[in-house]
Structures are given as C-alpha cells and as structure tokens.
C-alpha cells in the first residue's frame, strides 16, 4: 500500500467520522424533544420495550451488512444510556428538582 492510498483511506475515514458525529448530534436533538414530551406527560425516561425492539432491529441490520451484531448493541446501548440521562435531567428540571 502506498502513502497515497493510505492517505485516501484516512481521508474517507475522517469524512465518515464527521458524518457519524453530525448524525449523532441530529439524533440527540430529536431525542431532546422526546425527553421534553415524556417529562410533560410524566412518562419514564427509559422504555425497555422500545429498546428491545431496537436491539432486535439493529441485530438484523448488522447481520445484513456483515457487522458484529453484539458490537451494534454496544454502540446502541452507549447512545441510549446517554439519551436516558438527558431525559432524566429534563424530567428533573421540569419538576423543579
């Protein structure tokens, strides 16, 4: 592999990393709205049933694209745990705690 090839691969990786971060930011913006709605309606921050459905769906997608399904779950769990923290904070703020 030449230095030029390596540089091309790294440039593409950098582009994808940026897209991932921008997509996560967009996702968190949407989940902030969900957290506000949940707080307004007294709903719990976590939704285990929804999470289980998403995990099943992500397993299928990961297998489809040749990715380790367990890795997809680890990434999903990391994201959802952060969302739940945001939802809990939103609920606390809306209740005046």
pLDDT digits (tens, 9 = 90+) for 35-53: 999 999 999 999 999 999 9
Looking at residue 97, what is its pLDDT?
A: 54
Looking at residue 9, what is its pLDDT?
A: 97
More confident residue, 22 or 97: 22
Looking at residue 95, what is its pLDDT?
A: 78
- Answer for the pair 84, 35: CB distance below 8 angstroms, yes or no: no
Q: Which CATH number fits domain 3-95: 1.20.59.10, 3.90.380.10, 2.40.420.20, 3.90.950.20?
A: 1.20.59.10
Q: What percent of the chain has pLDDT over 70?
A: 98
Q: Which residues contact 72 (CB under 8 A, 6 or more apart)?
A: 58, 59, 61, 62
Residue 62, CA distances (Å) to 25, 36, 48, 50, 96 in order: 22, 31, 20, 18, 41
Residue 38 burial (CB count, 10 A) = 20
Tell whether the model's pLDDT for residue 33 goes beyond 90: yes
- Answer for the pair 9, 65: CB distance below 8 angstroms, yes or no: no
């Amino acid at each position: 592999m030449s230095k030029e090839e390596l540089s091309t691969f790294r440039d593409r990786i950098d582009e994808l990393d940026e897209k991932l971060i921008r997509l996560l930011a967009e996702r968190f913006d949407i989940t902030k709205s969900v957290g506000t709605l949940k707080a307004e309606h007294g709903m719990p921050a976590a939704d285990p049933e929804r999470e289980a459905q998403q995990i099943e769906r992500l397993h299928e997608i990961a297998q489809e694209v040749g990715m380790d399904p367990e890795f997809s779950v680890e990434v999903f769990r990391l994201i959802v745990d952060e969302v739940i923290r945001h939802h809990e904070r939103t609920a606390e703020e809306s209740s005046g705690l």
